[in-house]
Amino acid sequence: MLQQKSKEENSKFFYYNNGITVTCTSFSFPKISQPTITIENMQIVNGSQTLHALFEVAQKNIECLKSIEILCRIYELKDAQYSSRIAEYTNSQNPVTSRDIRSIDFVQQKLEMELKDMGYFYERKTNQYENEAKEKRIDSEKAGQAMLAFYYKCPNEAKNNKTRVFGDKFEIIFNENITAEELLKAFEIYSKVETRKDQIKKEIIKDNNQYEENSFVLYATYFIVYILGEIKDKLGVNSNLFENYYNIAFELMKKTVESEKQLKKNQYTNANFFKSIRPQLYIDKYFKILSNNITKDSISKLNIIEL
């Protein structure tokens, strides 16, 4: 857009634009006119869209930028937590996602460094490590959803309201006590459940007779992650959780679907059922019946229940 305007119009860009906000650990400059500013650990917290627009113009015609002036606010902060707050407040009127704002949070950066030491690439921002091996990349949003279901017992929110991961649930999920190991455990459970879902999907495609019985699994990932988290807590399982208990979690999930189908009859749909809190209500009620006798055999003997 800039290159299509007159030089006089370009010079007014300062008045039309909100500018750029930068945080850093320190900055300095000589007391002269038009000084060069030295900035350490710079982080742009507001104005990235402006910078991208200017960069695109520069690639086409650098001359268009010679008359451009832009407001730049620089905040020297010793406490990193304020970067996130400044980002949130200065972006309040702009369409910047919570994930982008939260990406500079101290805990997010800590997790990235810890996971990198473990050989993983934690993507605080979307596709941050797109050139790395897929199996070594951990998407922060998916990790947050997995932890919300696995540790914090909110599978419905994890599936149907993922914006809460970087919204009102952020400080709960990504608290200062969360470790890279805990995040990785929840994410690996989620990933394995997703892989098994893909396998079942292929089986259903090959044999349509399985659709009626097993198609629920296409919607149930976070509820199965939740069941595995409950089994971990109730039985004190710390290793090989997925390998030893996935089939049990699958059968318990199937039992909840059977209960709802019995109630709804021809009105039942997987889509509607898994948009509601009802799967978790059934699961919790079945867990009370099972107590600590959580086996495939005990689940097969469960009666259909009503909420």
For the chain, the domains span: 1-96, 105-307
pLDDT for residue 55: 80
CA distance 46 to 48: 6
pLDDT at 50 over 90: no
Percentage of the chain exceeding pLDDT 90: 61
Q: Check: CB of residue 3 under 8 Å from CB of residue 60.
A: yes
Q: Tens digit of pLDDT for each residue in 89-141?
A: 565 555 556 788 888 889 999 999 999 999 999 999 989 999 999 999 999 99
pLDDT for residue 7: 57
Confidence grade of residue 1 (pLDDT, cut at 50, 70, 90) = very low
Average pLDDT score over the chain = 88
CA distance 191 to 201: 15
pLDDT at 71 over 80: yes
Percentage of the chain exceeding pLDDT 70: 89
pLDDT at 12 over 80: no
Question: What phi, psi does 46 have (nearest 5°)?
Answer: -155, 135
Q: Check: CB of residue 68 under 8 Å from CB of residue 8.
A: no
Q: DSSP characters for 188-245? A: HHHHHHHHHHHHHHHHHHH-GGGHHHHGGGGT-HHHHHHHHHHHHHHHT--SSHHHHH
Residue type, 270: N
pLDDT for residue 184: 98
Q: How many CB atoms lie within 10 A of CB 67?
A: 15
Q: Check: CB of residue 122 under 8 Å from CB of residue 111.
A: yes
DSSP E strand boundaries for 82-130 = 121-123
pLDDT for residue 99: 85
- The pLDDT of 178-196, averaged and rounded, is 98
Residue among 67, 54, 60 nearest 20 (CA): 54
The DSSP code for 277 is S
Query: Across the chain, how many H-helices and E-strands are there?
Result: 16, 7
Q: What is the three-class DSSP state of 73?
A: strand
What's the token pair of residue 58? Answer: 């520069």
Q: Check: CB of residue 124 under 8 Å from CB of residue 107.
A: no
CA distance 61 to 189: 50
What is the residue whose two structure tokens read 């009859």?
265
Task: Give me Rg for the CA atoms of the chain.
Answer: 25
Q: DSSP characters for 11-63? A: TTHHHH---EEEEESEEE--SSSSPPPEEES-EEEE-HHHHHHHHHHHHH-GG
Confidence grade of residue 11 (pLDDT, cut at 50, 70, 90) = low
CA distance 57 to 3: 7
pLDDT for residue 161: 93
Q: Tens digit of pLDDT for each residue in 146-161?
A: 999 999 999 999 999 9
Q: Tens digit of pLDDT for each residue in 262-304?
A: 999 999 999 999 999 999 999 999 999 999 999 999 999 999 9
For 83, the enclosing helix (H) or strand (E) is helix 81-90
pLDDT for residue 46: 77
pLDDT for residue 4: 46
Instruction: Categorise residue 244: left if φ over 0, alpha if ψ from -120 to 50, beta otherwise.
Output: alpha
Residue among 200, 222, 195, 219 nearest 134 (CA): 195
pLDDT for residue 221: 98
